[in-house]
Amino acid sequence: MASREEQYRRLKGKQPLEILYQREKQQADRIYLRQMIDRQWREYSWGEVMDRSRRVATFLRRHCDAGDRIAIHAKNCADWFVADFAMMLAGMISVPLFPSQSRDSMAYVLAHSESKMIFVGGSDNNDHIRDAAKDLPKIAIHRCEIDCDYQIEKIIEENEPQAESPLYDPDQLFTLMYTSGTTGKPKGVMHVWSAVTFAVPNMVRGFGYNESDRFFSYLPLSHAAERILVELHSVYSGTPVHFPESLDTFLEDLQRTRPTMFFSVPRLWGKFKEGVDNKIPPPLQRVLLHIPGVNHWLRNKVQKNLGLDKARLLVTGASPISEDLQRWYHRMGMMLADGYGTTENFIYGCITHMGEKPVPGTVGRPFWDCEIKIAENGEILFKSDAIMRGYYLEPEKTTETLKDGYYHTGDRGFIDDDGLLHLTGRLSSSFKTSKGKFVQPSELEKKFGEETLLGQICVLGHGSDQPLMIANLSESGRALPRRKVTEKLRHLLDHVNDSLRPHERIKTLFITDEDWTPDNELVTPTLKIKRKAIEDRYAQWIEDSENKGPIVWESGDDAR
């Protein structure tokens, strides 16, 4: 097996198409994609994937011109890869949409990008995509449930494979990836081919994955991290990718795959832990972990039940994870690492390097040839060849973000004596109380990250005398009597406040009845909280209820 450095030298500077052409010739019969259908794996070899992609590329070239933007709106599936590879082969620009994106957000992206056609697959809301893309020709792919102009299987049946095997100028536009829009309209991040050829071989160099590993793809491929860490990484490393059948079969499919790398977001890591806690209460876990032999049994049981007993890299990202939650995974023998990257820097930011132990509260070190520095105001700045070329059709926002060769993230942080980056929140999310003290809400939210009673949480308080917190309950929290939940949350609030400085202490915890979803536009499609939207939604309730005690319920008293 080649070393990571040898692997890097073979891949350095090569476009993904160049790698695909090699695998098409040399590994045509090797299994690349596995799609779970009717509880069986449908397997696609490298040769079949490329044949399907070439036939779809032929169709695209008959209906669109090189450089045209083509959107894709689908849950993760083998067809997503085929559609993306076909767009590359045809010389067209991919515009991924989130399956959970709101109707207005999708309509804006399709219009702003001037997309000429759209691939449509499984969706969280078929009405949204049907309305947003009503004027575009639509190609149905796996699990599409709306009427479309074309069917991918029919396209593959009726078209010959594209014979040409093009490569592109490094400065030519590769994709438009739209941000999730936490503070306004989504922005179209422009990445050129050279961003791929620089970043992905370096990531493979860092992680060392190959054909013997296994990926499991379930986070939206429209998310930069999933598309780069799974789709593009799999092309360069040759690692097979597995797709679950549905949300209902997710855990079973994960257990059957037993991936060697698994990437997810803090909310899922929290739900995994909540499931374990419901079966083995935390006090019992702590006892068992101190008994020699039994602790090894417990760790193996938890890892196998999650399907993660073969994973050598577990990564969390997209939003902050609490240190307590991350430490729980470490106690269970799963070295969960927090990574940091953005759509704008092609997620080529920071991670715990292979061979190093993740340090809770940090996001590790920069990748190779990635410069990071902290501005005077605490803002994190990046410089590398993976940085975007700008925001599509938005030169003013581009100028605000790209200055003197550095990408200004808008995130605040610091680098410790060991060279590890710590994130301390968004510059724009910090607020000042009426006492003139600044508060970093994300730092306070982390303090509640391991509490299994709570689901989503958001700290607010601009202009108030003390910070306030709004939250909803987890499934286990909703299963308990309200009086018991109130009692537990009062103890939690007292405990957390004792660890905070006086101006940071949470005055009131408001418990709302509703979940925050992309549909009600309180979170982005990547589940990042929209603070301003939440503040606006609950402003009147907060004003009317602020002095009713430390725990306030949206639907009445806590007597139930």
CA distance 321 to 299: 21
User: Mind listing the pLDDT tens digit for each residue in 57-92?
Assistant: 999 999 999 999 999 999 999 999 999 999 999 999
Q: Domains in the chain, ordered, with CATH?
A: 4-237 (3.40.50.12780), 261-309+312-426 (3.40.50.12780), 431-553 (3.30.300.30)
Other beta carbons less than 10 A from residue 450's beta carbon: 18
Cβ neighbours around 56 below 10 Å, total: 28
Exposed (0-12), middle (13-18) or buried (19+): which is 403, by Cβ within 10 Å? exposed
Q: How far is 403 from 87, CA to CA, in rounded Å?
A: 32
Per-residue pLDDT of 301-359, as tens digits, reads 999 999 999 999 999 987 778 888 999 999 999 999 999 999 999 999 999 988 889 99
User: Residue 497: in which H helix or E strand, if any?
Assistant: helix 482-498
Angle of the 266-279 helix axis to the 294-306 helix axis, nearest 10: 130
Q: Please name the residues in contact with 111: beta carbons below 8 A apart, sequence gap of 6 or more.
A: none
pTM of this structure: 0.85
Dist CA 433 CA 441 (whole Å): 12
Query: What pLDDT does residue 249 have?
Result: 93
Question: Which two structure tokens, joined as six digits, stand for 395?
Answer: 């030169």
Q: What is the DSSP letter of 133?
A: T
Instruction: State the Rg of the chain over Cα.
Output: 24
Q: What b-and-e string marks burial along 200-238, b requiring 16 or more CB atoms within 10 Å of the CB?
A: bbbbbbbbbbebebbbbbbbbbbbbbbbbbbbbbbbbbb
Distance (Å, whole) CA 444 – CA 442: 5
320: nearest Cα among 340, 344, 334: 340
| Predicted local confidence at residue 557, as pLDDT | 58
Angle between helices 193-207 and 4-11 (to 10 degrees): 170
**Main-chain phi, psi angles of 151, to 5 degrees:** -115, 135
- H or E element at residue 385: none
| pLDDT value of position 556 | 66
pLDDT digits (tens, 9 = 90+) for 200-255: 999 888 788 889 999 999 999 999 999 999 999 999 999 999 999 998 899 999 99
Task: Report whether 42 contacts 224 (CB < 8 A).
Answer: no
Q: Where is 332: in which H helix or E strand? A: none
| pLDDT at res. 536 | 84
Here the tokens at position 236 are 């360069």
Tokens standing for residue 345: 């820097």
Which of helix, strand or coil describes residue 49? helix
Whole-number Å distance between alpha carbons of 43 and 46: 10
Residue 543, SS3 per DSSP: helix
Go through the chain and tell me how many residues it has: 560
Q: Which two tokens stand for residue 234?
A: 């799999």
Neighbour-count burial for 60-91, b at 16+ CB within 10 Å, e otherwise: bbeebeeebbbbbbbbbbbbbbbbbbbbbbbb
What pLDDT does residue 560 have?
45
d(CA 320, CA 292): 33
Please give the distance of CA 241 from its chain centroid, rounded to a whole number.
17
Low-confidence ranges of the chain (pLDDT < 50): 559-560
Structure token pair of residue 184:
């306004």
